[in-house]
Amino acid sequence: MSARPEMRERDIVIVASARTAFGRFGGALKALPTSALGVAAIDAVMARAGVAPTAITGLYAGVAMIGAGVLTPARCMVLQSSLPETTPSMAVDRACCSGLTAIGLAVRELTEAGEGLIIAGGAENLSATPRLVPRETGARPGAVAVTDPLALRAPFLDKAIARYTGEEAMAVGIDRAEQDAWAVQSHQRYFDARARGVFDSEIAPLPALAADEGPRADCTIEKLSALSTVYDSPTVTAGNAPGLNDGAAFVMLATRATAQRLGLPVLARLSAYAQVASGPTTGTSTPATAIAAALKRAGRPLDGLDLIEINEAFAATPLVSTLKLADGDKTRANALRQRTNVNGGAVAIGHPLGASGARLVMTLANALGRRGGGRGVAAICGGYGQGDAILVEVDG
């Protein structure tokens, strides 16, 4: 049974989206501050939507390594973009979930308000993330310990994320070879999609970078299997994990009624959002937990999903999460994997932490649109056992 017209008018929909190409660590985008990357994507979204800047009622921007953004990065994006200075804004820090959480917050606000236009997503320049020097007032002269947040190490666990990710994958029977194979597939799927022009509708080229910088056309099992593991991980290498990347991605959201009033296209509907948290080392499986929560909220079955996007924080993440969604049934998990990250994932594309959640959503919406409609879910893990998921639907 279809929803009543007055209910459909309150649907939260995507009316425009854009991202920068994602840069390699220390690469073409290294000199652009986080806020500048955000501004580039925000202004591209504005240009694609063609709405008056004064029509925007808010900006939510995910930034995971907020130190690189210095002070109030979301506000800096407003003041340097085409948005008027009166635009309310908020930066969101939920680690890698941040960009998707920003979208979730916008969905909640629009659902409550019943009108408005909100830009949501995220930006990150990991190349500019500073090392940390402790402030010790009155300390005597001597050596100072400097820490690097990009080591992604949890001091309360005394181990790096890469280590416990590998341990969690091995615990459910997903070994190094399977993770390397997924990484190779990620690159192969990416280059096949790029050859078909799949990313043309996503990327707003910058003078410094017009195409994703990290994907490797020469990625092979032989090359990946020769790499050493990192941070004492049993399985994770530089080849089966994404790089430390720079980039930004944003979507413009509205109610369906607002989109119709302004003559904006409805690219997709966001039908349910969920965020979850579990034990601090459960990142490989929290996307599955979040997907299950979003499906339950919407009353939808797992088998009704046409496409799935699970952020490749590591190759282990979609492998573990699909196995959990399949209740440990490997045959069913393999069937889910056939429609997961069909155009490649972060292992190839890159993972600018605050931007990845929004990139997943636009990639999914565009993929559903190209197949003539359907239903999908985008999910991501973030910092010590957090997870977000959102259901995306495109009318046939």
364: Cβ–Cβ under 8 A, 6 or more apart, which residues? Answer: 268, 307, 309, 376, 377, 378, 392
96 is catalytic: yes
Catalytic site residue from 76, 97, 219, 381: 381
187 is catalytic: no
Structure token pair of residue 381: 């893990």
What are the C-alpha distances in Å from 299 to residues 100, 103, 224, 271?
A: 21, 21, 41, 10
351 is catalytic: yes
Catalytic site residue from 76, 187, 219, 351: 351
Catalytic site residue from 76, 96, 97, 219: 96
22 sits in which H/E element: none
78: Cβ–Cβ under 8 A, 6 or more apart, which residues? Answer: 59, 85, 87, 89
186 sits in which H/E element: helix 176-195
Q: CA 358, CA 50: separation in Å to the nearest integer? A: 20
Of the candidates 241, 220, 252, 333, the residue with the CA atom closest to the CA atom of residue 283: 241
Of the candidates 314, 354, 302, the residue with the CA atom closest to the CA atom of residue 167: 314
How do beta strands 246-255 and 12-19 pair?
antiparallel
Q: CA 266, CA 279: separation in Å to the nearest integer? A: 38
Would you name the residues annotated as active-site residues? 96, 351, 381
